[in-house]
Amino acid sequence: MSEMNEFDESAPTVVKRFMYVNRRAPYGTIYALECLEVVLVAAAFDQDVSVVFLDDGVCQLKKNQDTTGIGMKNFSKTYGALDDYDVEKIYVEKESLAARGLTADDLVIPVEVLAADDLREVMAQQDVVISF
Amino acid sequence: MKFAILINEGPFTHQASDSAYRFTAAALNRGHEIYRVFFYNDGVYNSNKLSSPQTDDRNLVSLWAKLGKEHGIDLVVCVAAALRRGIKDEVLEDGFRISGLGQLVEAGIQADRLIVFGD
């Protein structure tokens, strides 16, 4: 069957590297939630998807979020679905974590922690970078 | 070059849509192709035909519609972001269409460059 797939015209012929960059706190603005919605849709397109969390964006992944006081939906559990969608490249900037007194253990999903210089290199390799 | 444009802010609070409009017009003027303009987040407000800015100010809703018509640009408003904000076909300016987020991803695949305009 794999031989046949090579001639399947419906199969995607272009695979690009898409990177979604989260820079904002999870609440206060809608950017975090609407970025997550894009990533979940993008995962269905068989592209090479990665997601980055930096600056206040690292707080999106903080464990034990409780939004009852602000009356907003706590969507932090949805990040756990990224793995089900085969989105496995999750990068968190080391400096942003440290500046906020956080470590990878404080986060709701396993991530790859990268120093800013290394993250810059990964970013430079992308075809499409969408920042929220 | 084939460009796709993503606009993440509305026409009033931020300059993003103005900048995107000027970029798009300049690119077309230079002979480039605009594969699609995708409106997301508060960017969906750029399609609301009920917007009535003061007459001595620019009106981005009609500017986008006019540019789209002149050059046959695909102006796509994200359905999920639009429904949240009350943007439906009833208030949609001519020349825009409402569709899914897949249109953004597809634009990223098809275009040589996807340019993001946001806060």
Interface contact flag, A41 B101, Cβ < 8 Å: yes
Chain B, residues 59-78, CB within 8 A of chain A, namely: none
Hey, where are the domains in chain A? 16-62+77-131
Q: Is the pLDDT at B66 greater than 50, yes or no?
A: yes
Task: Specify the pLDDT at position A3.
Answer: 43
pLDDT band (50, 70, 90) for residue A6: very low
Mean pLDDT of A74-86: 96
Taking chain A, what is the end-to-end CA distance rounded to the nearest angstrom?
41
Q: CATH number for the B2-117 domain, one of 3.30.300.30, 3.30.1330.120, 3.40.1260.10, 3.30.70.100?
A: 3.40.1260.10
Active site residues of B: 78
Q: Is the pLDDT at A1 greater than 50, yes or no?
A: no
Residues of A in contact with B109 (CB under 8 A): 12, 14, 16, 45, 47
Interface contact flag, A41 B100, Cβ < 8 Å: yes
Q: What is the ipTM metric for this complex?
A: 0.92
Interface contact flag, A131 B105, Cβ < 8 Å: no
Compute the nearest-CA separation of A34 from chain B (Å). Answer: 7
Task: Specify the pLDDT at position A10.
Answer: 56
Phi and psi at residue A106, in whole multiples of 5°? -85, 0
> Are the C-beta atoms of A30 and A69 separated by less than 8 Å?
no
CATH architecture of A16-62+77-131: 3-Layer(aba) Sandwich (3.40)
Residues of A in contact with B108 (CB under 8 A): 16, 18, 127-128, 130
User: Looking at per-residue confidence, does B78 or B119 come out higher?
Assistant: B78
Cα torsion angle, B103, B104, B110, B115, sign: positive
Interface contact flag, B108 A18, Cβ < 8 Å: yes
Q: Is the pLDDT at B113 greater than 50, yes or no?
A: yes
**Cα angle A45-B44-B62, degrees, rounded to a multiple of 5:** 125
Q: Is the pLDDT at A9 greater than 60, yes or no?
A: no
Residues of B in contact with A129 (CB under 8 A): 116
Q: Cα(B102)–Cα(B119) distance, rounded to whole angstroms?
A: 22
Percent of chain A with pLDDT over 70: 91
Q: Cα(A68)–Cα(A51) distance, rounded to whole angstroms?
A: 27
